Structure 1
Amino acid sequence: MSVADVARVRVRQRELEIPESFEWVAETTPALRAAVEESGLAVHEHPLMVLDPGSSAPAVDEMSEDLSARTLDPDNPALPSALAVPHLAFAEPGTRIGSAGAAELAETVRDRSGDGSVNRVVARIRAGLTVVAAAVEDGTALCAGRHQPVGTVSEIVGVGTLPTPRRRGLGLAVTAALVADARSRGVETVFLSAGDEDVARLYARLGLRRIATALIGGPAE
């Protein structure tokens, strides 16, 4: 793909009012990075990891010191906070304890209450296209994520912990719950893109191993 090709795709993305974003695997399409960067987009690297089919992942309850994780049905009152918490988590990336907490989460839930995002996810849950798992305390999700099953393959996406209660093993507990659910559905290939090398080392505890590098191109922040 040339720079001109990238530019045409970006024009179409703007016409469709969707994010100007490209995702690909570095090892399979090495020349694309230069074209994407020359078009003016920033490219970020993420470890691409897959779950070994024969791995024996730790039980969900073994991954967190004091709070278990579970999948949420579409009527669960914690679902709005489970969908909001990753937005605050990714605003303060990494594994360090951050500043956003319960008050910021409640505000984010209120801000998103009328945008239809919860209803869209509810529809996907009912259709079997998305599974949401969360670590919930006092009715509020402190960490959440999803997996997106398509036949015998599923991608784990959007696992994020509210910055103030980090370092409690919640991210691993949520990921373990998603892995367990995927396996219960007959999924054979579970994969994800880790935020960075530190996060990848944590996922390795669940039996995930790095197989390549995922590249994501988007507007520079």
Structure 2
Amino acid sequence: MLGVTSADFDDHPERALLDRLEEYYDAVPRHSARAEGHGPLTLFVREGQGWPFYARPARGWSGTLNASDVQKVRVRQRELGIPESFEWVAETTPKLRAAVEESGLVVHEHPLMVLDPGTTVASPEGLSDSVEVRIVGADDPVLPGALAVPHLAFAEPGTYVGLAGTPQLAQAIDVLVADGSVDHAIVRIRAGLTVVAAAVEHGLALSAGQHQPLAGVSEIVGVGTLPAVRRRGLALAVTAALVADARSQGAATVFLSAGDDDVARVYARLGFRKIGTALIAEPSE
């Protein structure tokens, strides 16, 4: 049971909340991935199109964990031709970082932020009248663009105005249509596993993101703005729309991982607060 009640925030609130997030992290990938048990670690292998998954701590594991455990999973990831990637929460599994680094991977830190029940989130003011922020359905013609924008945003991380604009967006859309990613997203939207929101201007998605609801918890993921049109408040507006939709579906806890401390400060303006550190490990470039 993943639902969050007010009682969870009374006794050891942060510990209870982090434990709920662990349940969520373990449950969500199982809708579209095969879970392989490797002792203290679980490897999620995506079945079909979409972002590749990762390995993370096995739910409820209480034994030892060392670099050899990490190395075994890395060998399996190479066999499968998937990224050698690990994701976990520092405060929940503190010993994993040393084992991961000893295996040769590089660890990146991301602020883990939550929006507590009862926190009011208002849509940012000052958006252009030409911009509409909306939930994007499976049949919405802007869906391919809403899926492509985050790819361009993450290729130019940060909050500065970047280079990628509408020409690059058109190319990214073509790629996602051709590789089946758009069709995969349509299936997930219709199944209620993913909700997409976008800031749309003149028929183009300029900023977009998603949330993934599951039994009273939802994670906001993949929020990004077309780099050439940053600093217009679009990502905040998209995030506010995702929060509103998640809550309308009964999510008592809404959370996200920010790209860095600068991005975390932006989300803090909506009421998100840091509760921990999300860690991602991958090979060095």
Query: Into which bin does the TM-score normalised by the smaller protein fall?
Result: over 0.9
1:129 alignment partner, SS class: coil
2:73 alignment partner, SS class: helix
Task: Give 1:160's aligned residue.
Answer: 224
Task: Give 1:174's aligned residue.
Answer: 238
Structure 1 residue 63: Cα displacement = 4.4
Structure 1 residue 32: Cα displacement = 1.1
Equivalent residue for 1:136, pick from 187, 195, 200: 200
Report Cα offsets for 1:171-214 as digits up to 9, x if no partner. Answer: 00000000000000011111100011111111111111100011
Gaps of 5+ in 2: 1-64
Q: Report the Cα distance in structure 1 between the residues aligned to 2:219 and 2:79, rounded to whole angstroms.
A: 28
Task: Give 1:103's aligned residue.
Answer: 167
Structure 1 residue 64: Cα displacement = 5.0
Q: Report the Cα distance in structure 2 between the residues aligned to 1:63 and 1:199, rounded to whole angstroms.
A: 19
Gaps of 5+ in 1: none
Residue 177 of structure 2 contacts residue 183 of structure 2 at CA under 8 Å; is this kept in 1?
no
Structure showing greater radius of gyration is 2
2:211 alignment partner, SS class: strand
Task: Give 1:205's aligned residue.
Answer: 269
Report Cα offsets for 1:117-170 as digits up to 9, x if no partner. Answer: 011110000000000000111211111100001110110000001100000000
Report Cα offsets for 1:68-121 as digits up to 9, x if no partner. Answer: 311100011110011111111001101000011000111111122210101111
Task: Select the structure with the greater relative contact order (CA < 8 A; seq sep ≥ 6).
Answer: 1
The aligned length equals 219
- Give the TM-score normalised by the residue count of structure 2: 0.74
Task: Give 1:45's aligned residue.
Answer: 109
Residue 96 (structure 2) pairs with residue 32 (structure 1): yes
Q: Report the Cα distance in structure 2 between the residues aligned to 1:64 and 1:161, rounded to whole angstroms.
A: 17
RMSD of aligned Cα (Å): 1.2
Equivalent residue for 1:73, pick from 125, 131, 137: 137
- Give the TM-score normalised by the residue count of structure 1: 0.95
Percentage identity across aligned positions?
Answer: 68
1:68 alignment partner, SS class: strand
